Structure formats: structure tokens, C-alpha cells
Amino acid sequence: MTSYPTPPPTEPPAAGDPYGDEALARGLVAGDEDSLAAVYRRWSSLVYALARRALGNAGEAEDVTQQVFLGVWRGRAGYRPERGPLGGWIVGITRRKIFDALAARARRGELVAAAAATLSRSALGADPEAVLDRLLVRRELGRLPAAQRQVLYLAFYEDLTQPQIAARTGWPLGTVKSHARRGLHRLRCGIERPEPVEAGV
């Protein structure tokens, strides 16, 4: 029987805290939202630290932390106490989400490289205004927060609909729509923002 990984030590619950690990697990599996909140308080800093260390990016670590606890809630019926403690189960989910984030980062890098190669091949003899527009869009996409950038990449480069993006990422459709709306707003503002003029020019 596969066991859950041994989690790094976390702070023990405060004296009088009714949420011991076993009680937390029972409440979580039963769908108790207060138990989920207690699980988040107890393990979110550990999840964030693991993601931050692996990814080296605070924004991506925050996204992973959100995805981990969304996965904890959605997958709560799959927790088996005989395989190990609740913390170990959460660490296992964290490792999978970190792997997904690294894989998504690699895919984004490949997309950017492919776009750059295409741009290089087509730049000679192309309309200078069109080339500039593509450069501006690519630059501003790279400045977006990771979640917004991922949604727009999937929409623009893989031609996925928002429901398909939700299925691919595991995010709720409302979250995908929010990331798309905010990302497009920031993208438009970035493209329309005038470049600063250096002194003396």
C-alpha cells in the first residue's frame, strides 16, 4: 500500500485548539469548511515555502498554494488516514502541483521561443508596424502575473476556449474568466502606456 510522504515539521496546534489532525481530517472529508480553513492556516505557509523554493518565484508559489488547497478540498474524499498523516497527503498534492507548474513554465518557454523564431524569420520584409506590435504584445505578456499569462497563452497560442482552459488548469471557470479579463486589461494598458523619454533626448 502506497503511503503519503512524511511532511516537514509544522507548528503544533495551539493549546485548546479543537482541530487536531484526526479531527481535521474527519471534518475535511465530511465537507466542513471550518476544517478546510483550519487546514489552510496550519499548512499554507509550508506549502508556500516548498513551492517558493522549487519555483523561485513568489507569484507562481502563491498560485500553487491556491491550487493545492483547491485540490485538497476537491479531493478530500480520496484522503486515506491509513496511508499516513494529513500533512503528508497535502505535501504529496503540493509536489504534484509544483511539477505541473514547472511543466507549464517549460511549455510557456517553448511557446515564447517558437514565437521569437517565427518573428525572426518573418521580420525581414515584413511591415515594420506589425513587427513592432508583435514585439510589444510579447513583451507585455511576459510582464503579466503567472496565472493571467497562462490563461492568455492558452487562449491566444493554443486557441482554447475559457471552459477548455478551466478543464486544462483545474481552475473554476469564474477564476479563468477573471484572469482573462484582468490580463487583457493589463495587456492593453501596458501596450498603450507611452515609453519614458530619457533626459536629454
Q: What is the DSSP letter of 6?
A: P
Q: Output the pTM of the full model.
A: 0.51
Tens of pLDDT, residue by residue over 10-28, are 555 444 445 578 888 899 9
Tens of pLDDT, residue by residue over 23-65, are 888 999 899 999 999 999 999 999 999 999 998 888 889 999 9
The percentage of the chain sitting over the pLDDT mark of 70, rounded to a whole number, equals 69
Q: What are the grid coordinates assigned to 181, written together?
A: 479579463
Q: How open is the CA angle 114-152-54, to the nearest 5 degrees?
A: 75
Q: What are the grid coordinates assigned to 105, written together?
A: 513554465
For the 7-99 domain, the top CATH level (class) is mainly alpha
Q: What is the distance of C-alpha 46 from the center of its chain?
A: 16
User: Domain residue spans in the chain?
Assistant: 7-99, 125-201
Among the listed residues 63, 43, 153, 58, the one whose alpha carbon sits nearest the alpha carbon of residue 106: 153
CATH architecture assignment, domain 125-201 = Orthogonal Bundle (1.10)
Q: What are the grid coordinates assigned to 136, written together?
A: 510589444
